[in-house]
Amino acid sequence: MPSVLTNSNLKRKINERLIIPVNLMTTFLLRRSIERAFQLHEQPQGLSLNPSKTLPSNPPYISSVVDDVMYIVNQVVERSLSTSQRAVVASVIPSVSRVLDSDFVGMIQRKMRDESYPKAAVQGSLPPERTIIAFLVLINDLDIATDYVSRIVRSRVEDKARGEPGKEDTTSSNALSLTTLYPFDEDASFVVDALNSMQKNFGGKSTELIADGIYVVFKNVVKPRLRPVITEAFRDVDYQANDENMDLLNGATETERNDPLRVDSAVHHNFQRGWDALTRPIARLLTATNFERLLWTIVSYLSEVLEKRIWSYHGRINELGAVRLERDIANIVNVVVRGRPYGLRNAFIRCTQISLVMNMEQDEWEELQNALDETETMEADWKIDKSERDRARALIHSI
């Protein structure tokens, strides 16, 4: 914009009598709207952790606060951009970001801490179902709110791209691009940077609180029930038994015992039953993104538990039992990662490599040792070091 305009009395009067009041009123409107939204908030009704009960509505399961607040945010951003005043954007957009961080995220954090924290009334028991559900809904609120803010920003940034030379707006004949609203100098780029900064700041705050909430769910709801699931899965399993004894323990019929394709499935079925009972009630309430976050936390812990269990069989496992143990570990991993990102398997690499070394033939073991001694790059592919490989080898061969 020419300096003759930016330094004019008209520009000064617009700034003093219009822009400053607009900024103050917009901030007040947003704060008051968020406060009112939390006063009138409604939780989704009829939610239950009992998988046999049908949920009354479709996911995502969030409170009314998210839609109310994000509608106001969208309106505030839209009206601020429509003024075509860089000074308005420079003040309002950071204010929106600041209010969302302090009021919206701050209020949800207080609710998670003071009203819906899933804590057992009696040590050793689970938190009340109503408290768990309320906590899960608050985590969903943060996740969906983050997505809403991303869409609000993305729609405006895409408008700028459509307004650039050579790019026509084919999505809406009424929408004005940022380059149309802010044609001078780099004003449009300044607006885009302000919007992206708002999204980044809000996303960082909400993601941090989501991570804390996911850990609370794992520590207070999942972890107390996960170790018993592992214990029950391996109950009465003897890895020193021979084929005949294992058939008797598993209740196999004569036809099953003679079937060369039969797989010992006691551990597999026991774990799958316990795993589904543990995770399905939570999975159907959380958003897909939040459940994936929770699953990564569970898998990290589960891999450590399985590794300790493998080491615990030192001196209590024979060669046939080692084959069965490797198969049982593989089946457990398959149950956990079924229908999930393949990268989850990486958490179990140590368990897989321990089982691999344990079941190697002697010539394979010697060949591996020689290869590792000759090539340093192969060592990087192993998550267990030399002493752990020797320890895994000794699980059987020290007997």
DSSP state letters, 35-64: HHHHHS--PPSS--S-TTSPPSSPSP---H
Q: How many Cα atoms occupy the beta-carbon half-sphere of 97 within 13 Å?
A: 21
Write down the pLDDT at residue 255.
Answer: 52
Tell me how far apart the alpha carbons of residues 217 and 135 are, in angstroms, rounded to a whole number: 8
DSSP state of 184: S
More confident residue, 214 or 397: 214
Give per-residue pLDDT as tens, 136-157.
Answer: 999 999 999 999 999 999 998 8
* pLDDT value at 179 more than 90: no
pLDDT at 307: 96
pLDDT in the model for residue 258: 45
pLDDT for 173 equals 30
pLDDT number for residue 176: 64
How do residues 235-273 score in pLDDT, each as one tens digit?
888 888 775 555 544 555 555 444 433 445 789 999 999
pLDDT on residue 376: 62
In this prediction, residues 294-303 reach a mean pLDDT of 96
Percent of the chain with pLDDT over 90: 61
- Per-residue pLDDT, averaged over 336-365, amounts to 92
Closest by CA to 372, choosing from 355, 384, 361, 359, is 384
pLDDT higher than 80, residue 373: no
How far is 218 from 300, CA to CA, in rounded Å? Answer: 11
pLDDT of the residue at 23: 84
End-to-end CA distance of the chain: 85
DSSP 55-98: PSSPSP---HHHHHHHHHHHHHHHHHHHTT-HHHHHHHHHHHHH
Give the whole-angstrom CA distance, residue 61 versus residue 286. Answer: 7
Average pLDDT rounded to a whole number, residues 341-357: 93
The whole-number pLDDT of residue 197 equals: 96
Residue with the bigger pLDDT between 341 and 289: it is 289
Q: Which of 8-17, 249-258, 309-318, 389-398 has the highest mean pLDDT?
A: 309-318
CA 289 to chain CA mean position, Å: 5
pTM over 0.75: yes
Say how far apart CA 240 and CA 321 lie, in whole Å: 6
pLDDT at 185 over 50: yes
Could you give the CA distance from residue 212 to residue 109 in angstroms, rounded to a whole number?
Answer: 10
Buried b (16+ CB within 10 A) or exposed e, 16-30: eeebeebbeebbeeb
User: Has residue 216 got a pLDDT over 50?
Assistant: yes
Q: Could you tell me which residue, 106 or 236, shows the higher pLDDT?
A: 106
The proportion of the chain whose per-residue pLDDT surpasses 70, expressed as a percent, equals 84
Structure tokens at 277: 């009972």
pLDDT value for 245:
54
Range name among 88-97, 134-143, 306-315, 362-371 with the lowest pLDDT average:
362-371
For residue 332, the model assigns a pLDDT of 96
Confidence of residue 4 (pLDDT cuts 50, 70, 90): low
Class of residue 106 by CB neighbours under 10 A (exposed 0-12, middle 13-18, buried 19+): middle
Please report, for residues 244, 264, 291, the alpha-carbon distance to residue 249 in angstroms, rounded to integers and kept in the order given. Answer: 9, 10, 36
Mean predicted lDDT score pLDDT of the chain: 86
Taking the C-alpha atoms of residue 77 and residue 26, their distance in angstroms, rounded to an integer, is 10
Name the band, by pLDDT with cuts 50, 70 and 90, for residue 117.
Answer: very high
